[in-house]
Chains A and B, each alone.
Chain A
């Protein structure tokens, strides 16, 4: 038996430390630690409620907009505020743009470079992968950096800047889009569509979104073998390495539902255990038993606490353990597409559950679907009509803001008393995915996913474990905040 300490674990957002117990060339047990605590819940306590719009996005530089939207929704919920149609469209576009940019950043800069490592130099596919995806120098990674920067011009026009915009208002968007700006948004999306079609997929986005089973996907990738398009290239590698058998976690999934317009979400809400189930938000609780936080009882976030205790016995992470009806759940693009009933993702999950391959496929599939929806939202925008309503916050009240960030379900729970924030609790997507053990000793989703991962002789930082960790696209700064 050997113990391995994996850290600093890079090409994830923020700081991550993973400890593995290895037996017979396999991971037998895993402990996931988020080693950075900043204390946003404490910082927000006592502030004016609208100050959350400044402070909350700064939890995270890669999910900044998701944090903004969650904060704005929590305040809107407390105020009972709605927003005009244009405001809803602008909010959706800004949020979808961040999720899209994050998916691309993940695939090209965080995830794929591991296949360009020397450890794979003898593989038949290495010659195709290495020049494209070598960290910092790969040609595909560089093309993606340029395409991403251009895509984020959408943020310049709609939100002033990214990250850390203040344009996301509880009653709409502070930026009224003018006639000429709406046209530019269409042009920006058109350019990004071309990047995805001509580099990532080698097919029309509509055709990618229409792939409806694992077999159809396999045929589609087979027809593009040797083409150099990036998703088919990844699928080829995934077949050789058996990535569909790597990194299976709880196979329980959750999505808050995403990007609603006119009351209808683009991606439906729900949870999953051997099939779709309704989502009961009152069953959410955060368990602090193995985290450096005061308390031992699992609490619903509306009455939750976040008070550090660095000397707590038995604790090994700053992250609390969120549970849904007492169970760990996996969140992210895979969960979102599964809950939305996308036939390809349903088929992938029914065959192999959540795994390295299905998580990556779901993210890229979602990217195609997002661009199509974003083009529709821009066309639906009506310059000259209102983008923002008025916000009248009560001096006492409670609110909940739920969002699907790129990495999954994000929730803000706020309680306002005498015009100030009395309590603010945040559960971020990677808090769910990378949670430590709970009071029953049940490990979190990543801790489960790592068990069984192969460890090659002499490996200090097993490459299979790296694929598994990065397949979740963790955001560690959000996790603990």
Chain B
């Protein structure tokens, strides 16, 4: 299968992250399912005229375009002209190239939250009128429109994340190459459910602190970051704490809040990042699927029951009180 990758209004970080794929590494993973790079802006040999001729052939339908990956938001400005990103060497807006190529692709994949929904590029006043391929924030539509379907009858597949985990991308591409990914495998935002049906909270090493509402109040403390530090791990759809990043990392393992980067409009949370908005001392954002009254009741109960070990460790940057060692009862 041929894979063509283009970049527009983003940072290139999803490609940089993709190169971190391991066991096996990126080239081996792609080769294993017969995916061949037609062209990638960071990796391929062809540049300038050679690259343009490849792109022209793909857009004209002459080169089989099986997998079309787009990284970065679609920049429609200024004034609908697309001139905030003319593809280098062409004087043609990248949005036009993407429309032409998407019309030929068997599958179109938005890699990263920018390409999926607009992402950080659509933040603030959205100076470039950025949107995703088939979403504008949380609204369906985007550059290609609600009705877009690739040649295989699928909408744009949104591998969201800022950046994407390397294996979210490789596993999506693998399942497409194997013909195993259908509409039922996508959630309502067209994110692959194999990653999106999980929460960042799952597998978070701070879960014991969460259970007892033993909270971190300052950066580098070990406690749960939901109550004060703006952590959205209980609401964010991703498997970051069961899959892990760059070996054994994740945002919460790195000591900072999950900012729900796989969601549309994560870039404008309506409050300061890394601070939990509250009403009467109770966080506004509840854990997903948790009824409010129960959350309040359980939180106050568990707070009252917090063991001394968790209370003290939550406010420290290394373990102050180790778990009790239980000795077997003398026989």
* Residues of chain A at the chain B interface (Cβ within 8 Å): 5-11, 13-17, 33, 35-39, 42-48, 50-51, 53-55, 58-62, 64, 105, 109-110, 113, 116-117, 134-137, 142, 145-146, 148-150, 152-167, 169, 171-176, 178, 308, 310, 383-384, 386-388, 390-391, 460-461, 466, 477
Is B26 at the interface (CB under 8 A from chain A)? yes
Q: How distant is the Cα of A42 from the Cα of B120 in the complex, in angstroms?
A: 12
CB distance from B304 to the nearest CB of A (A): 28
A60 touches B7 (CB 8 A): no
A42 touches B127 (CB 8 A): yes
CB distance from A393 to the nearest CB of B (A): 11
Could you pull out 8 A-B pairs where Cβ atoms are within 8 angstroms? A39-B127, A61-B16, A109-B19, A157-B247, A160-B245, A166-B259, A171-B219, A172-B219
B43 touches A175 (CB 8 A): no
The one of B27, B81, B254 that contacts A167, using a Cβ cutoff of 8 Å: B254
B residues less than 8 Å from A388 (CB atoms): 218-220, 317
CB contact under 8 A between A62 and B87, given known A159-B249, A175-B254: no
Q: How distant is the Cα of A175 from the Cα of B14 in the complex, in angstroms?
A: 23
B256 touches A155 (CB 8 A): no
A residues less than 8 Å from B108 (CB atoms): none
B residues less than 8 Å from A160 (CB atoms): 245, 249-256
Is B9 at the interface (CB under 8 A from chain A)? yes
Interface string of B255-271 (1 = CB under 8 A from A): 11101010000010000
The one of A51, A149, A169 that contacts B272, using a Cβ cutoff of 8 Å: A51
B residues less than 8 Å from A54 (CB atoms): 259, 273-274
A163 touches B254 (CB 8 A): no
By CB atoms of chain A within 10 A, which of B11, B39, B46, B244 has the most? B11
CB distance from A109 to the nearest CB of B (A): 6
Stretch at the interface among B47-55, B174-182, B191-199, B280-288: B47-55
Is B57 at the interface (CB under 8 A from chain A)? no
A residues less than 8 Å from B20 (CB atoms): 148-149, 152, 162
A310 touches B162 (CB 8 A): no
The 8 A-B pairs with the shortest beta carbon distances in the complex, nearest first, are: A160-B254, A61-B13, A7-B89, A156-B249, A7-B88, A156-B246, A461-B48, A39-B127
Q: How distant is the Cα of A392 from the Cα of B37 in the complex, in angstroms?
A: 49
B residues less than 8 Å from A466 (CB atoms): 47
B13 touches A163 (CB 8 A): yes
Is B8 at the interface (CB under 8 A from chain A)? yes
A153 touches B88 (CB 8 A): no
Q: How many residues on B have C-beta within 8 angstroms of the other chain's C-beta atoms?
A: 80
Is B109 at the interface (CB under 8 A from chain A)? no
Q: How distant is the Cα of A310 from the Cα of B84 in the complex, in angstroms?
A: 8
B44 touches A48 (CB 8 A): no
- Quick one: which of B218-263 are within 8 Å of A by CB? 218-220, 222, 244-257, 259, 261
A residues less than 8 Å from B306 (CB atoms): none
Interface string of B159-173 (1 = CB under 8 A from A): 000110000000000
A residues less than 8 Å from B50 (CB atoms): 460-461
CB distance from B236 to the nearest CB of A (A): 14
The one of A134, A148, A159, A310 that contacts B45, using a Cβ cutoff of 8 Å: A134
Closest residue of chain A to B112 (Cβ to Cβ) is A61
B residues less than 8 Å from A51 (CB atoms): 272-273
A residues less than 8 Å from B218 (CB atoms): 388, 390
B19 touches A61 (CB 8 A): no
A residues less than 8 Å from B51 (CB atoms): 8, 10
A17 touches B89 (CB 8 A): yes
By CB atoms of chain A within 10 A, which of B17, B127, B130, B261 has the most? B127
CB distance from B104 to the nearest CB of A (A): 18
The one of B41, B120, B254 that contacts A161, using a Cβ cutoff of 8 Å: B254
A residues less than 8 Å from B255 (CB atoms): 160, 167, 173-176
Q: How distant is the Cα of A176 from the Cα of B81 in the complex, in angstroms?
A: 48
CB distance from B32 to the nearest CB of A (A): 14
A7 touches B128 (CB 8 A): no
B residues less than 8 Å from A60 (CB atoms): 11-13
Is B42 at the interface (CB under 8 A from chain A)? yes
Is B90 at the interface (CB under 8 A from chain A)? yes
By CB atoms of chain B within 10 A, which of A11, A43, A150 has the most? A43
A residues less than 8 Å from B37 (CB atoms): 136
Closest residue of chain A to B19 (Cβ to Cβ) is A145
B83 touches A61 (CB 8 A): no
Q: How distant is the Cα of A165 from the Cα of B330 in the complex, in angstroms?
A: 50
A36 touches B273 (CB 8 A): no
B250 touches A8 (CB 8 A): no
Q: Known contacts A11-B43, A38-B128, A477-B12; can you find 4 more A-B pairs with CB under 8 A?
A: A39-B128, A43-B125, A61-B14, A387-B220
The one of A6, A33, A157, A162 that contacts B48, using a Cβ cutoff of 8 Å: A6
CB distance from B49 to the nearest CB of A (A): 4
Is B61 at the interface (CB under 8 A from chain A)? no
A50 touches B273 (CB 8 A): yes
B220 touches A48 (CB 8 A): no
A residues less than 8 Å from B81 (CB atoms): 310
B11 touches A64 (CB 8 A): yes
CB contact under 8 A between A14 and B13, given known A36-B85, A175-B255: no
Q: How distant is the Cα of A51 from the Cα of B274 in the complex, in angstroms?
A: 8
A10 touches B41 (CB 8 A): yes
B residues less than 8 Å from A8 (CB atoms): 41, 47-48, 51-52, 87-90
The one of A33, A42, A116, A176 that contacts B124, using a Cβ cutoff of 8 Å: A42
Q: How distant is the Cα of A51 from the Cα of B259 in the complex, in angstroms?
A: 11
